[in-house]
Structure 1
Amino acid sequence: MSDPTTPLIWFDGSLRAPDDPLVTAVDHGLTVGDGVFETCSVVRGEAFALTRHLRRLTRSARGLGLEDPDEAAIRAGVAAVLAASGPDVGRLRITLTAGPGPLGSHRFTAGLVPQTVVVLAGPATRSDVARAVRVPWVRNERSAVAGLKTTSYAENVVALAEAARHGADEALLANTVGELCEGTGSNVFVERDGELVTPALSGGCLAGITRELLLEWGAETGLPVREARPGELPLSVLDDVLAGGAHLLLSGSVRNVVPVVQLDGHDVAVGPLCAAARDLFESRMVEHLDP
């Protein structure tokens, strides 16, 4: 059985040791962040919603101008790491880069070098609640990579470190026009006036798989959850949360669906729809491992 604290690694058709050399120093994913990735929750030894995650991986790759991933090879890598994993594995990560490239931003001609694909499985730390803070930086909804899940995560690293300095586990960002956008690794839902409302994708947030499923499962079961209309969720809606007139919910592929119990260092109440959404997602994900 594997060491539960050590990630299992699949690369180039086989399982590898943590200290095996895998990628070259000139891999474009390392030099300029030219890559995409997906993170899945592992439920009962299986990657949750793997088909949807692979679909989004392809969308992100195409958005960067990369060739489509080899889905069969990736599925083989997923199967290999999960078969070798123990019961403590809770997270799976698939990383795809352009492969070896120049030291600058230009790529080699498509097809000239193989893409780099790495699949990892390891432990995941989960909490039933979230603590969030606003940070001063914004998402650029007009960016060339808006809505793509790329390996260029430096903005998120900085924002999440700022959240940690304030005792929180997530940072909330606006977009350039002052609308509530998303967290560093989560989508956000606001509960008010008897509805759960999440920022629209046009505002620059990632099309989260958990977000997508909550919208679908909510529609199927009568939970009032929908996308926001233009201008409906300014960042100032968080002031309503602090005042008790609204509530917050975060969704993500490892945290699943969790209510926010602290915002900007102040305790906030869990809304009834936030609690209902959490319960709905937890029950449905056990019933449907690849929805």
Structure 2
Amino acid sequence: MSLVIWAEGRLVGAEEAALSAVDHGITVGDGVFETCTVLDGQVFALTRHLARLRRSALGLGLEAPDERKVRDGVTAVLDTAVAASGPFDGRLRLTVTAGVGPLGSMRVPGAQSVVVAAQDSVMAPESRSARSPWPRNERSPIAGLKTTSYAENVVALADAKAKGADESILPNTVGELCEGTGSNVFVERGGELVTPRLDSGCLAGITRALVLEWGAEAGLPVREAHEGELGFDVLDEVSAGRAALALTSSGRNVQPVTWLDGVDVAAGEVTLAAREVFEKLCRERLDP
């Protein structure tokens, strides 16, 4: 299936100009976005994604996105894609920018641009990850927000790619385990699956939250870390085989890490059980 794009009320081609050259999302990265999973031509957890899109926009100082406009774009894109190729599994991206603005950092109040795009894709069953040499700033004004200012993640991911990995795992500035460039992390040790606290600076991931909720519902030992529990050096335990690592995101679901910094590592039993629960329930509960 080819990429289907809706921008500001109309379907556009991938090579077609759709936004102003001085849209603030282009000139200074002033915008927010969500990446959603598409299952059989329908968006998974759209309500949660729209709620986080709103939180990110307000946290960035933007006006709340027009939800009706965003949903109209989602409907147009999915209807077009399904009509062309039939129901599909893939990704859908929602982007809301500050709209047309000056070349500097000041924005024009009330101006916004909305873009929705979808494409089929297949999730990899496992990840090869590498430690990032750069930290996430948990005190940043955009910590925990899903913004289009993604340069730090692009650089960190390029570093991981050069090392043979597909994700970069970041600490925060005080040496705690934080997140991946586009994923949350879980560490399995002592028979438990544990993820960093949100005050570590990590994103409040939709998949992360559902793993905690659905895992607990299924009786799995999954939880958020206690304060100070997960230092970045816990990855040494993973490399040594005393712990296991997993990533979660809308592009990965629950994905065991089987290679870390050049060392093959094993998937954890709780991780695999959590993945099984998630894969089952995500198709049974489309908008949890």
**TM-score interval, smaller chain:** over 0.9
Calculate percent identity across the aligned residue pairs.
63
Residue of structure 2 equivalent to 1:214: 211
| SS of equivalent to 2:135 | strand
Distance 1:138 1:38 in 2: 23
Counterpart residue type for residue 199 of structure 2: S
Which deviations, in whole Å up to 9, do the C-alpha atoms of 1:178-199 show, x marking residues without a partner?
A: 0000000000000011111000
Tell me the CA shift for residue 89 of structure 1: 5.2
The answer to whether structure 1 residue 81 and structure 2 residue 77 are counterparts is yes
Tell me the CA shift for residue 17 of structure 1: 2.1
The answer to whether structure 1 residue 134 and structure 2 residue 134 are counterparts is no
Match of 1:154 among 131, 151, 154: 151
Give ranges in structure 1 of 5+ residues lacking alignment: none
Q: What pairs up with 1:235-250 in 2 under 5 angstroms?
A: 235-250=232-247
Which deviations, in whole Å up to 9, do the C-alpha atoms of 1:79-109 show, x marking residues without a partner?
A: 111111134550100000000111111112x
Distance 1:50 1:22 in 2: 24
Residue of structure 2 equivalent to 1:182: 179
Distance 1:89 1:249 in 2: 22
After superposing the two structures, state which structure 1 stretch, 255-264 or 17-26, moved more: 17-26
Tell me the CA shift for residue 218 of structure 1: 1.3
Aligned residues, how many?
284
Tell me the CA shift for residue 56 of structure 1: 0.2
Distance 1:147 1:107 in 2: 22
| SS of equivalent to 1:245 | coil
Distance 1:192 1:19 in 2: 47
Residue of structure 1 equivalent to 2:5: 9
Match of 2:141 among 135, 139, 144: 144
| SS of equivalent to 1:136 | coil
TM-score by structure 1 length? 0.95
Which deviations, in whole Å up to 9, do the C-alpha atoms of 1:186-239 show, x marking residues without a partner?
A: 000000111110000000000000001111111211111111111100000000
After superposing the two structures, state which structure 1 stretch, 13-22 or 152-161, moved more: 13-22
Residue of structure 1 equivalent to 2:188: 191
Distance 1:124 1:65 in 2: 33
The answer to whether structure 1 residue 46 and structure 2 residue 49 are counterparts is no
Distance 2:90 2:35 in 1: 10
Which deviations, in whole Å up to 9, do the C-alpha atoms of 1:228-276 show, x marking residues without a partner?
A: 1111000000000111110011000111111110110100011100110
| Maintained 8 Å contact 1:179/1:203 | yes
| SS of equivalent to 1:66 | coil
Residue of structure 2 equivalent to 1:276: 273
Counterpart residue type for residue 263 of structure 2: H
Residue of structure 2 equivalent to 1:56: 52
Match of 1:119 among 116, 122, 130: 116
| SS of equivalent to 1:223 | coil
Tell me the CA shift for residue 125 of structure 1: 3.8
Which deviations, in whole Å up to 9, do the C-alpha atoms of 1:145-191 show, x marking residues without a partner?
A: 00000001111111111111111110000000000000000000000
Give ranges in structure 2 of 5+ residues lacking alignment: none
Distance 1:177 1:90 in 2: 36
The answer to whether structure 1 residue 70 and structure 2 residue 97 are counterparts is no
| Maintained 8 Å contact 2:89/2:122 | no
After superposing the two structures, state which structure 1 stretch, 279-288 or 124-133, moved more: 124-133
| Maintained 8 Å contact 2:38/2:88 | no
RMSD of equivalent CA atoms: 1.0
Counterpart residue type for residue 48 of structure 1: F
Residue of structure 2 equivalent to 1:104: 104
